[in-house]
């Protein structure tokens, strides 16, 4: 029986991924900043641990308490929607601390045990914002794009030790708490000159029919965790899959001899 440690399990993709792995008979270590046992079904295969990926002491304690694991799922993240011009650099740093440096810290914490066993898988959850440009999410996209490059490089670096590293790229998930969880940090980030444009962007998101569900992400995380083919990218959700196909078609049309790494 394999064990997965999943970050950011208090809601959305992380919570559904924990449920999915449990249903398939895995042992799951569900982590969240403020642990809540009522969010997940009672199971002998479940442990809930406190973890704040932005605090080195919390990361070290969680990894120590978890013991040996087979898969690390770096799902914890925070959203940000607003005009970059109006976004304080402290807020930008806050986003990077969780979405970028938090992921790196978790990877660095588990690599020694994976390398020692010459086995293990790291799954980093990013965003379809890395596949195509979206307005008013510049800082958020930058934090996730950094992890795309980091993961691709790390996959090569750790392959010799039997460690697999994967990317799951969710699309637009209107049923998640992306907006509600970030209300406080988004206050004042749409100044007057940007309001008409922001409203048109929000309306455009509301018109999207092919969106990403939590179950889409859970399935792709599970596929990535079990993949032995060397595939790097796992788009999750109909919109993310469509963007991936569009990106590949553009590359093939404009650079016939180029290869999309990891596809």
- Give backbone dihedrals phi and psi of 148, rounded to 5 degrees, phi first: -60, -50
| Among 49, 50, 45, CA closest to 22 | 45
pLDDT value at position 181?
65
Model confidence over 72-115: pLDDT tens digits?
Answer: 999 999 999 999 999 999 999 999 999 999 999 999 999 999 99
Which residues is 163 bridged to in the sheet? 120
Cite the beta strand spans of the chain per DSSP E. Answer: 3-6, 27-32, 46-50, 71-74, 120-125, 163-170, 233-236
How far apart, in whole angstroms, are the C-alpha atoms of residue 106 and residue 53?
7
Name the maximum alpha-carbon separation found in the chain: 56
Q: How many CA atoms lie within 13 A of 145 on its CB side?
A: 12
CATH for 3-254 is 3.40.50.720
Q: How confident is the model at residue 263 (pLDDT cuts 50, 70, 90)?
A: very low
How far apart, in whole angstroms, are the C-alpha atoms of residue 124 and residue 104?
10
pLDDT value at position 225?
98
- Give backbone dihedrals phi and psi of 142, rounded to 5 degrees, phi first: -60, -40
Query: Does the pLDDT of residue 71 top 70, yes or no?
Result: yes
How far apart, in whole angstroms, are the C-alpha atoms of residue 215 and residue 139?
27
Averaged pLDDT score across all residues of the chain = 92
pLDDT: which is higher, 193 or 184 = 193
Model confidence over 31-62: pLDDT tens digits?
Answer: 999 999 999 988 999 999 999 999 999 999 99
pLDDT value at position 217?
98
Model pTM score: 0.92
pLDDT value at position 186?
87
Catalytic residue positions, numbered: 140
74 near 108, Cβ under 8 Å? no
Cα 71 to chain centroid, rounded: 14
Percent of residues, the chain, with pLDDT higher than 70:
93
Q: How confident is the model at residue 261 (pLDDT cuts 50, 70, 90)?
A: very low
pLDDT value at position 255?
67
């Amino acid at each position: 029986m394999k064990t997965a440690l999943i970050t950011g399990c208090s809601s959305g993709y992380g919570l559904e991924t924990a449920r999915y792995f449990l249903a398939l008979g895995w042992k799951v270590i569900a982590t969240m900043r403020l642990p809540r046992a009522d969010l997940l079904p009672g199971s002998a295969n479940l442990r809930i641990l406190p973890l704040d990926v932005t605090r080195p002491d919390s990361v070290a304690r969680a990894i120590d308490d978890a013991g040996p694991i087979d898969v690390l799922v770096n799902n914890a993240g925070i959203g940000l929607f607003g005009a970059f011009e109006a976004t304080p650099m402290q807020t930008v740093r806050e986003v990077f601390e969780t979405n970028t440096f938090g992921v790196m810290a978790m990877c660095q914490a588990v690599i020694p045990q994976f390398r020692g066993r010459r086995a293990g898988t790291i799954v980093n959850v990013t965003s379809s914002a890395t596949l195509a440009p979206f307005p008013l999410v510049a800082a958020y996209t930058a934090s996730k794009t950094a992890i795309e490059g980091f993961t691709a490089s790390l996959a090569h670096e750790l392959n010799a030790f039997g460690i697999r590293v994967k990317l799951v790229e969710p699309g637009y998930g209107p049923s998640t708490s992306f907006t509600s969880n970030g209300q406080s940090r988004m206050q004042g980030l749409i100044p007057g000159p940007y309001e008409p444009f922001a409203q048109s962007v929000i309306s455009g998101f509301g018109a999207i029919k092919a969106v990403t569900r939590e179950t889409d992400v859970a399935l792709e995380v599970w596929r990535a965790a079990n993949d032995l083919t060397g595939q790097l990218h796992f788009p999750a959700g109909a919109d993310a899959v469509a963007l991936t196909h569009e990106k590949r078609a553009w590359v093939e049309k404009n650079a016939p001899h180029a290869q999309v790494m990891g596809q």
